[in-house]
Structure 1
Amino acid sequence: MELKRKNRVNAEFSMASMTDIIFLLLIFFMITSSAISQSAIEVKLPTADSANPSVQDPSVVTIKEDGKYFVNDKEIAKDQLENYLVTTLKDVEKPSFTIRADENTKHKDVVFVMGIAENNQYNLSIATTQEE
């Protein structure tokens, strides 16, 4: 007499739960990477009508309304700013940086940083927000 088992173990593997986990990880990393790219220093950028997408430079000079200078979120004194930028960008093939100035920053502070870029022949971009 031949006996058959009624309860057999199913040896198949469902990929549905693994796919859900991968998508959740993908969403998590997309959200955290966009949050990291924003600077921690709060400034209100001026608006501009621009259709060109922005290009992210490796170095960002932030100028607050009170005249404080920051390079990549690190506060730098005005008299040490040029030396710090030169040492930061010395190994870069095409040195460039972005100026993030508060909309109420004095014009002379922005022109000072632009002069550093001109003296050292750095490419320069100015961060703005797009008009709505």
Structure 2
Amino acid sequence: MGLLLVLRPPQPGPKSLRRATRAQRRERHRADAEEWRTAQQRGWLLDVAVEELLPLVNSAGGGRLPILGQLNPWSDTVLDHRDLPRLEADVDRLEAVAGDDVQRELVAALRRLLMSWRAEPDLLLHCYGD
């Protein structure tokens, strides 16, 4: 089980592909796959195992963390640039309690993602849960 964090430009309202042709659906999935590859190359994508993140969040205060403590790893959330300072404060708390190399690497990866977001303030942080 994982949580996918992706920096993306604002998205238009979701369009239902229920009445779309198979070719339209294939084209949509192809465009999404290309966007994910580009995001990964730019450092805008982080795939986090919930089994690694949850114990760290719980050690840092759990539900008291304003952003990470409220994320549901089984649903989707979108954060805008106004959430960045609180999210950075959450990562600071995670860093303070990180107890092993795996947790420290997770915190470093989160920091890299947030630095990329700071450089691109027009992007939104999409959190996709399993």
Structure of higher CA gyration radius: 1
> Which structure is richer in relative contact order (CA contacts within 8 A, separation 6 or more)?
2
Bigger proportion of residues as helix = 2
Q: Same fold (TM over 0.5)?
A: no
